[in-house]
Structure 1
Amino acid sequence: MNKAPTAGFEEDVGAKTTHHFMYPESAINLNPGVHLVLVPFKPLDLEWLTSALSSGDIQYTYERVKQFIKADKDKILIVNPTFLKYIHDKWTKKHGKYPSTGLIALIFAIHTCTQVSVFGFGADSNGNWHHFWEENDNPGGFHKTGVHDAVFEQRLIERLATEGKVAFYK
C-alpha cells in the first residue's frame, strides 16, 4: 500500500505483490504484473492517473506528485468512490475523516478473497502507530491528525479476527 517498500522487508511482508493500493500522493512505480489499485479521494486523482500514464501534465494535486508512473496498463483497477463511502459509513461508522488505505485494502480483500490474513496493522509495543519502513520522530502523530481513527480501525480488525473473517497476526 502507498509508498510501502517490500525490498529489504521480505521476511516481514513477503516477496510477492499482487495488488498495490495507492493514491497520487503515495504513488510508486510498480513491477510488471502488479495490479495498480487507485483509491481516488478527489476527481483530480482520476485525471492524475491518465496523465501519469501518458502526458505527465499533472505534477501537483495538494502536494507534488509523480509526473509519470510505471505500471502495467492492463492491470489497473479503480476503487469506486461509492465503495469508499460504504466503508466509511458501514465499517468505520464515520470515525475519522476517511478510512486508512490499509483498511480500504482490507475491506476490499474481505469482499473479493476466500481467505484474508492481516499483517502489520496496529501499534508497536509502545502504542505508537507508524509505517514499518519509516523512521518517525512523531509516531503518535497519527492519533492527533484525526484523518483516520486508528484505535477504531484496530478494534474493527480485532473484531473481524474474533469473528473468523480474517486471520490477524500482530
Structure 2
Amino acid sequence: MNKAVTSGFESDVGRKTTHHFLYPESAIDLPADVHLVLVPFKTLDLQWIASALSTGQITKTYMEVKQFIKADKDKVMVISPAFLKYVNDKWTEHHGRYPSTGMLAVIFALHTCDEVSVFGYGADVNGNWHHYWEENKYASAFRKTGVHNADFETKTLRKLVEEGKIRQYTPERTARPINKYIRKT
C-alpha cells in the first residue's frame, strides 16, 4: 500500500505483491506484474491516473504528485467511490473523515479472497500508526487531524482477528502471528 517497500522487509511483508493500493500523493513505480489499485479520494485522482499513464499534465493535487508512474496500463484497477462509501458507512462507521488506504485494502481483500493475512499494518501498543520501513516521528498525527481514526480501525481489525476472518501478524521483524488462529510453520 502507498509508499510501502518490501525490499529488505521480506520477513515482515513477504516477497510477492499482486495488488498495490495507492492514491496520487502516495504513488510509486510498480513492476509490470503488479496491479495498480487506485483509491480515488477525490475527483482529481481519476484525472491524475489518466495523466500519469499518458501525458503527465497533472503534477499537483493538494501537493506535488508523480508526473508519470510506471505501471502496466492493463493492470490498473480503480476502487469505486461506492466502495469507499460502503467501507466508511459499514466498517469504520464514520470514525475519521474517511477510511485509511490500509483499511480499504483489508475490506477489499475480505470481499475478494478466500483467506486474508495482514502483515506490517496496524498500530503499536499505544495506538500509534507507524510504517515498518521508516522511523515515523509523527505516528500519532492521525489522532490530531481526524483524517483516519487509527483507534477505531485497530479495534475493527482486532475484531476480525478474534472472529477468525483475518490473520494479522505483528509489525515486528519476526512476523509473529498475534492471534490464536495461526500456527507458525
TM bucket normalised to smaller: over 0.9
In structure 2, the partner of 1:129 is 129
Q: How much does 1:24 deviate?
A: 0.4
Q: How much does 1:121 deviate?
A: 2.5
1:16 aligns with 2:16: yes
Q: How much does 1:51 deviate?
A: 0.5
Letter in 1 for 2:87: I
Q: How does 1:27-46 map to 2 (within 5 A)?
A: 27-46=27-46
TM-score (norm 1): 0.96
Letter in 2 for 1:60: K
Letter in 1 for 2:59: Q
Structure 1 distance, partners of 2:86, 2:135, is 33
Structure 1 distance, partners of 2:127, 2:156, is 17
CA contact (8 A) 2:128 2:150 kept: no
Q: Gapped runs of 5+ residues in structure 2? A: 171-185
TM-score (norm 2): 0.88
In structure 1, the partner of 2:176 is none
CA contact (8 A) 1:34 1:72 kept: yes
In structure 1, the partner of 2:106 is 106
1:62 aligns with 2:65: no
Q: How much does 1:126 deviate?
A: 5.0
**Count of residues in correspondence between the two structures:** 170
Structure 1 distance, partners of 2:40, 2:126, is 33
Change (3 A) 1:125 1:155: closer
Letter in 2 for 1:124: D
Deviations, residues 28-64 of structure 1 (Å, cap 9, x unaligned): 0000110000000111111100100010000000100
Q: Gapped runs of 5+ residues in structure 1? A: none
Q: How much does 1:119 deviate?
A: 1.8
Letter in 2 for 1:10: E
Q: How does 1:61-80 map to 2 (within 5 A)?
A: 61-80=61-80
Q: How much does 1:167 deviate?
A: 1.3
CA contact (8 A) 2:127 2:151 kept: no
Letter in 2 for 1:85: K
In structure 2, the partner of 1:89 is 89
Give the 3-state SS of the residue equivalent to 2:168 in structure 1. strand
State, as a whole percentage, how many aligned pairs show the same letter. Answer: 65
Give the 3-state SS of the residue equivalent to 1:158 in structure 2. helix
Stretch moving more, 78-87 or 140-149 = 140-149
